[in-house]
Structure 1
Amino acid sequence: MKKVTLLLFSITLFSSQFLFSQGSPDYGGGLKVKINEDGSKYFRVISWAQVQATYNDNVASDASNLNFNLRRARVLMFSQINKKFLILTHFGLNSLNSGTMSPVGKDEGAQLFMHDVWGQWSLGDSHAVGGGLHYFNGISRLNNQSTLNMMTLDNNRQSWSTIGLSDQFARHLGVFAKGKFGRLQYRVAINDAITNGLDTRTPTNGGDAVYGGKRLIGSKDAGKAYAAYFEYNLLDEESNFLPFKVGTYLGTKKVFNIGAGFFLHPSGSVIADLSGNLIGEDVSIFAVDVFYDAPLADDGSAITAYATYQSNDYGKNYKYSAYGTGSMLYTHLGYVFAGDKTKTRFQPYVSYGSNSYDALADNLNVFGIGTNVYMSGHNSKVTLEYLNKKTGPSKTGTITLQGMIYF
């Protein structure tokens, strides 16, 4: 199947330098409302919407080739009344289309929901603890990825490794600690796993694992999940003020980080023996990664490179949607051509991912090639990408044109 997707526009209002690194000469400080004269007490408000128009040339004879989708609509606000505590609230909806709309805005698809709500308390200048619905994830950089400054068109899907299985849209409800020891940054969390995840299957006797431990065997044995990510900043230090990781700095920083992380969910999955007795299977995901982003000269040229290896154990022969027990190798590489930073700049890139699954004979291999056209850093850009997915003899090719503007 071939699909040509036109993302008409993606508008983000009132963004923040702390939240997203823009690489834009025009951005400034975004919207920041000072509560006192020196600005140490403040709040910020961020709002964005992403709207898609999709053309698919392989649909049923009675279906339209052209469809529209409100991919994301979000409002985020965080406030710092003093240096000791911060509160962040982030709500919105995702993927509202003609099939999920409600006549009076009340059905499931039309509902707003909380993405993040957490409070954070500082423990000195370098460490903090917090709790709530949060995005301080483990595993890898891409499992903590911001969605507004990615280098590729979208994040590598398998890197968001627990969406809907143990969490709510990549967010867990729990407590976290984050900070740094010199150049070593860390984030660790203890969370309640979601009870009613996307995997609603019932284990078959002698069959494969199902990700439903808390639902099927209870919270005593399967209720908690543990996550951590550690990274060493060899060159410029990145901000860890908020959890969202930058995809590409466009040469505005010189970053070289080595990271490692994990996610553990004891008895997160369940199998049934031949007699039908349910047995918990531990979910364990580990990854190592490396990120490099730096200018190549004073002419505006820059390179962005990333690579990760991830070991995924969701239980015996687990396979559901994009996820499965096995391993993943993923990498991408981009190059910003030399040019005036105040004018249009071009960044071609390539990406490749190979996913193995114990339950399948063939790997899922994903190859992407594309280019970003930056009019004002990440604040105004157009992306064209071709993505090819191949599993055995099955192939899927997608061409996507995306326009993004946010302020």
Structure 2
Amino acid sequence: MKKVLCLILLATSAGFAQVKSTDDNNKSDIRYSLNPSGSHYVKFTFTNQVWLRLNENNPGTTVLSDPASQTFDIGLRRTRMQLFGQITDRVFFYTQFGLNNFNKTNGFPGYNTAGTPSNRKVAAFFHDAVGEYEVLRKGSDFIRVGGGLTIVNGLSRFSQPSIGTIMTMDVPIFAQATVDQTDQFSRKLAIYSRGQIGKINYRLSIADPFPVETSGGVPAALGVNSVFAQKKHKKQFDGLLIYNIFDTEDNTTPGYMTGTYLGKRKVWNIEAGFIGQKNATWRQENADTLYSSMNLWSVASYLDMPVNKDKGTAVSAYLGYFHTEYGKGYLRYNGSMNPATGTNLPIAGVSGTHGNAYPMFGTGNVTYAQAGFKFKEGLLGSQGTLMPFASWQYSDYERLKDPMNLYNLGVNWVIKGNNSKLTLNYENRPVYKNGVEFNELVKDGRKASWILQYQISI
């Protein structure tokens, strides 16, 4: 943090000018040029997402031991700072520092797994720290190699989202398949190659996943359902291939893929991705410990383009199919910035079922779709325009007798692109309970949440 402040002060005293960026938001950069042309530079960005939320909690939910059928909370969904730059024609570096899911329950329970008091003041951490070298450049084609702590991976564009450009209230987190289990908020220590060759964009990586024991929570006990293994650690292999039918996308930072360009580009892509890891999970059958490989793959199409350039209207859409093979019986509940802390109605074979959690990850198949329409520029005069959206997730997981349907409806008030944006979102999710059949969950109604988010990004 001190280094970032020093950089800002140094740049100000050295004539740190506000220059026009070439990125898709067309915003002013906080940038310090390292050569006269500005092709070598260091850049600083900041993004903050504040949530105000009213949530209908899952049955049995408690908040700090008190029963709570609903909650209202205020939190920081994401607060991030980036410092990156082009040092030479071929050398690029990227770092990101920040925190996620910071509300009043952050750090709960009162003691961590080591038995020492929790501390709400240590939530921020390095998300990324990457060095990258460009081995080939020919026109707009390039090949780069890099390594470090990075989100570059396979599976899909939403496995490595640019959080400042999200169209919906939040990304489909199930696509960040191992989030905070064997990675650091979707980042892994990895070496990778990424590039653009004609109409094809690719990324390939070899990652060394973190042991699940270092996730900050107590690892799930070995039982009849697959959970991440604590032995036989193996490397992970990832890949994503994207065919650009129209414009190519921004490739400045490693991994991160734009949510919506707000009509600034004409993009239509077809993609396919995968993540594979041998012996990723384990389970117990009779007296035997059985290991399973994690095999995840997806195919999808992404569309984001202007409808009427003169008026500034635009459309954005995505449709993807995901095959998620973690191992027999794998199922994981999760809820974004969960407002609750416990439950008095546990569900056998899963944990963390309180608050706004739902079966987000599991062995099975997922279909995900989202769509939005940006109205004309100046619809609200000098106060910007509106972009309504909707999303749907259908998860047919092995342990769910009734497949999961998750719905979101919302509208973005785009005040100044993605730099200043207010979003109102309604989410409707299913609730499950233990079924009659062993190890099976059945649907038990639905719950909802209403979220108001304000995002500022520079």
Q: Provide TM-score, normalisation by structure 2.
A: 0.77
- Asked whether the 8 Å contact 2:56–2:447 carries over to 1, the reply is no
Displacement of 1:238: 0.7
Q: What is residue 295 of structure 1 aligned with on the other side?
A: 306
Residue 89 of structure 2 is aligned to residue 83 of structure 1: yes
Amino acid at match of 1:87: F
Structure 1 pair 57–200 and aligned structure 2 pair: CA distance change class (3 A): closer
Displacement of 1:65: 4.7
SS at match of 2:448: strand
| Aligned pairs for 1:215-234 within 5 A | 215=230, 217-219=231-233, 223-234=234-245
Residue 324 of structure 2 is aligned to residue 308 of structure 1: no
Displacement of 1:404: 1.7
Q: 1:15 & 1:304 partners in 2: Cα distance?
A: 29
- Asked whether the 8 Å contact 1:100–1:110 carries over to 2, the reply is no
Give the counterpart of 1:189 among 186, 201, 205: 205
Q: What is residue 382 of structure 1 aligned with on the other side?
A: 422
Q: 2:452 & 2:20 partners in 1: Cα distance?
A: 26
Unmatched 5+ stretches in structure 1: 1-12
Displacement of 1:405: 2.1
Give the counterpart of 1:247 among 259, 268, 272: 259
Q: 1:15 & 1:108 partners in 2: Cα distance?
A: 40
Amino acid at match of 1:129: V
Q: Provide TM-score, normalisation by structure 1.
A: 0.86
Q: What is residue 339 of structure 1 aligned with on the other side?
A: 377
- Asked whether the 8 Å contact 1:352–1:366 carries over to 2, the reply is yes
- Asked whether the 8 Å contact 1:199–1:210 carries over to 2, the reply is no
| Aligned pairs for 1:97-176 within 5 A | 97-100=103-106, 107-111=118-122, 112-125=124-137, 126-176=142-192
Residue 297 of structure 2 is aligned to residue 286 of structure 1: yes
- Asked whether the 8 Å contact 1:90–1:115 carries over to 2, the reply is yes
Give the counterpart of 2:402 among 343, 352, 362: 362
Residue 372 of structure 2 is aligned to residue 373 of structure 1: no
Q: 1:359 & 1:151 partners in 2: Cα distance?
A: 31
Q: Percent identity?
A: 28
Q: 1:39 & 1:107 partners in 2: Cα distance?
A: 45
SS at match of 2:165: coil
Give the counterpart of 2:271 among 255, 259, 265: 259
Q: 1:245 & 1:230 partners in 2: Cα distance?
A: 13
- Asked whether the 8 Å contact 1:55–1:65 carries over to 2, the reply is yes
Structure 1 pair 246–16 and aligned structure 2 pair: CA distance change class (3 A): farther
- Asked whether the 8 Å contact 1:16–1:46 carries over to 2, the reply is no
Q: 2:429 & 2:71 partners in 1: Cα distance?
A: 21
Amino acid at match of 1:315: G
Displacement of 1:15: 12
Displacement of 1:56: 4.5
Amino acid at match of 1:75: M
Unmatched 5+ stretches in structure 2: 1-7, 9-17, 111-116, 334-359, 432-442
Structure 1 pair 40–166 and aligned structure 2 pair: CA distance change class (3 A): same
Residue 24 of structure 2 is aligned to residue 21 of structure 1: yes
RMSD between superposed Cα atoms in Å: 2.6
Q: 2:449 & 2:256 partners in 1: Cα distance?
A: 27
1:75-118: per-residue Cα shift (whole Å, max 9, x none)?
A: 21112210111121212222333343699xx9454223210011
Give the counterpart of 2:361 among 318, 323, 327: 323
